[in-house]
Chains A and B, each alone.
Chain A
Amino acid sequence: MPPRINPTWIRSSPLAKRSSQCLSNARPFSGSPHHCTRLRRSMFRWLRGPGENFRRPFPGSTNYLSGYDSQGQLWRSLENAPSRSLGEEASDPSEESNLDSEGNPRQSKAAPEDKADLRPFPINSGFISQPVLSEELREEIYDRVISGGKSVKIVSAELGIDMNRVGAVVRLKAIEKDWVKKNKPLAKPYSKAVLEMLPTTPLMTFPLRPKMHEPINDLPVHPATTQQIFEPTSESRSFTRIDASKAFDPELLPTDERIPHPELIELEKERLLGIPQEERIERQRERAKRESEKREAKDRRRKEIEEATLKRVLSAESGGNGGRWEWRFREISVQDAGKDGRAPGGVGWRYGIPHEDRKKGQVKIPTRV
């Protein structure tokens, strides 16, 4: 029987001590040296020290790198206690880290985070973690649009949420309700955990004014406006935004028409004119009605044109007035395929022109679904 190694000898040897610093789950009886570099050692030291804060989420708040100083101390908690003297601060970190490892006591210490605490990447100040909609606010949006029958535009202006987002929230919420109806399990624990880690925009109930989630009147920077141009005009001329847009590009609409909520400008102008509120509301209603009528008329016209180009043929049945089948024919022009027969408007497969999809370099990833 070969001599056995007592594990206690190895644990006490300097070799094992060094290795255990970076490999906590190393076999205690192994005598071979572990290749632990200085970098790895310093990483594990950091993870045990300041990095320990990031292991678990900060209860009830965000937990980004920029929220802590190099010692792993929370900036927000520092600001919260301005009465601390320098000497006390120096002795603090150990106490703070003790509290941090427990998790819960930190909660009471943190002040609400400011913009600097919301940077997930400390050296890039141009990116911050912006708030997301809270669960209640999403529910409210869905209620207003579906149950309240309000238009997306109105809900967007009321709550300060982009129109695209309002539409997306309603769409996603509808699926969620469908899942609930079908008894499909939701990822509730995940949702709860993630929303707790992120900054959220809360729902403000009536006496409080709704908190604006994001700017809703974003003007996209048009490429034509990114260059400086020399436009000579007379000094007496009032050179407005409309003139400016014309100067940039004759086709370019003025700012007032390019923003998503031009009706807000109208409302504000009427308010400036001193028109009473009831009348303003009445006028706004009128405008909205006119707009929706216009849209509907446009839709109708499009459908009519489509119907006119479509030829329906019903199958003849022995009994009854309608056939069982309906064939729909649409006029197609041969010229649509273009000169080389490969124009995207062309229909069907054309004799003598092979498919290109097996050729080298043809991308078959769909561009839309």
Chain B
Amino acid sequence: MRRKFHGLKRLKIRQSWNKYNLYNLSRLRRQDVKTRTFFQQKWTAKATTRAYHGEQIREKQWQRMFRPRLASVVPMDHRYLAHFDGSEQALGRGSGLDVDHSASGDTARKVQKTPYMTMVYAPMERRLDTAIFRALFASSARQARQFVVHGFVRVNGKKMIYPGYMLNPGDMFQVEPERVLYATGAPKTRSQRRSGRKKAKKTPPASEITSNEKSTDEDLDMSALSLSEPIATATPPPSENPITALLARARATISSVDQLTLTAKQKQAFRSLKKSAKTLYSQRENAPAFAVPALEAELSNFTALINPSTTSPTPTPVDSKTAKDTTAPGKTIQQANENPIDPSKPYGTPWRPRDYMSPFAFIPRYLEVNQNICAAVYLRHPVARPGLAEVPTPFHQESYQLAFNWYLRRGR
């Protein structure tokens, strides 16, 4: 029975982006092959490599998948093929003639060894759940498996609920982008969780949601109106008097905020904003010079503090205005639109990659991934080529050789 998935005592490397896994990976050493019997070596090699490669699969299933033939390719140079017909390789063999391509214009071709042995677990990479993990759509192979089982994955446009589906070359698989963002994004912070809970409490039952959405849209419009309204009703030329315009804006913001939804920090900011607005209002005629920019700063600070998303009571026009006032370039606004703050999401917003993701971020060559739509194509089966093997393998080649020997006997 498996005790711990990410243990520190028994060093097991897993297909996951966990920090325990990263630490284990950092202290992983080569397997001891000096002081142990061959059987012990093979046993350890099999155990450690299987803990990484498809630990969710039963051993018998893997034994059925195992194939002793390991796929490889040799990159050919079309210039070489055009220059020579291959007969030069047999020329004078055994008579003292050595083949030297560097003399005949061809660059010296130093042939690297093909790491065949790290291709032992290549059939595992065909599995749908593993491919989803490799395409960086899930933070672990287990999570990828869950996505498949829960019906968030499509293969060639059709829902596929079998994580053991063996991808064929040319198959396209898609994962729901929301799930991918959840899996790869940083979790919510404490305050984000709390504000999300408060919002969930406030939202009415599901039957009213559609009508409510409409009403929130209307609310937005209304608040946008109320924004401009006080300016119109106040002293005739609003643009000429910055103090009144600012006060009107502050009033609009204050009136649109529902105090019950605010967190403690937001409430503090709200109170201080109200207070300074009152003070400024009382001394409109002879306000000190610093009072106006101070209130301006406070207002922008407050709007930044509360959510500028659609469901929040803050009118969006105010947001964009303050954003323009402070940073000006439209690029930041566009970025904010692409990556909005939305407490209804199950991940922290604005989205950022989760901690400890970058050391695990690589996409093997047998996949072509489009991150924008969270879809990937399984181009071909993984292959080994001189100097490189395409199956992502954390252990030393020696371990894989030993594991290969183990399954050579026990596989079919």
Contact = CB atoms under 8 A, between A and B. Distances in A.
B169 A65 contact: no
B9 A194 contact: no
B104 to A, nearest CB: 13
B362 A214 contact: no
Q: Which of A50, A55, A255 has the most CB of B within 10 A?
A: A55
Contact of B365 (A130, A138, A264, A269): A130
Contact of B75 (A195, A219, A239): A219
B73 A221 contact: yes
Interface residues of A, number: 82
| Interface size range on B against A | 35 or more
Contacts of A97: none
A189 B347 CA distance: 13
A369 interface: yes
B353 A57 contact: yes
B207 to A, nearest CB: 26
Contacts, number: 248
Interface string A2-14: 0000000000000
Contacts of A268: 78-79, 81-83
A162 B181 CA distance: 29
A21 to B, nearest CB: 15
A65 B23 contact: no
Contact of B363 (A43, A127, A179, A198): A198
Contacts of A238: 85, 87
B371 A191 contact: yes
B262 interface: no
A122 B372 CA distance: 30
A64 B359 contact: yes
A158 B360 CA distance: 32
B155 A369 contact: yes
Contacts of B359: 54, 63-65, 120
Contacts of B83: 268, 272
B87 A240 contact: yes
Interface in B380-400: 380, 383, 385, 387-397
Interface of B: 8-9, 19-20, 22-23, 25-26, 28-30, 69, 71-79, 81-83, 85-87, 90, 115, 118, 136, 155-156, 158, 160, 162, 164-166, 168-172, 177, 180-181, 184-185, 338-339, 350-353, 355-365, 368-377, 379-380, 383, 385, 387-397
23 contacts: A40-B8, A123-B28, A123-B29, A127-B391, A132-B369, A164-B368, A164-B380, A168-B379, A172-B375, A175-B375, A176-B370, A186-B372, A187-B374, A188-B339, A190-B371, A198-B362, A198-B363, A218-B385, A219-B74, A239-B90, A256-B81, A259-B78, A271-B82
Nearest 10 CB-CB pairings of A with B = A241-B86, A268-B82, A129-B362, A191-B371, A215-B75, A168-B377, A172-B370, A126-B115, A63-B358, A264-B78
Interface of A: 37, 39-40, 43, 46-47, 50-51, 54-58, 62-65, 120-124, 126-130, 132-133, 138, 162, 164-165, 168-169, 171-173, 175-176, 179, 185-191, 193-195, 197-198, 214-215, 217-221, 223, 238-242, 244, 255-256, 259, 261, 264-265, 268-269, 271-272, 365-369
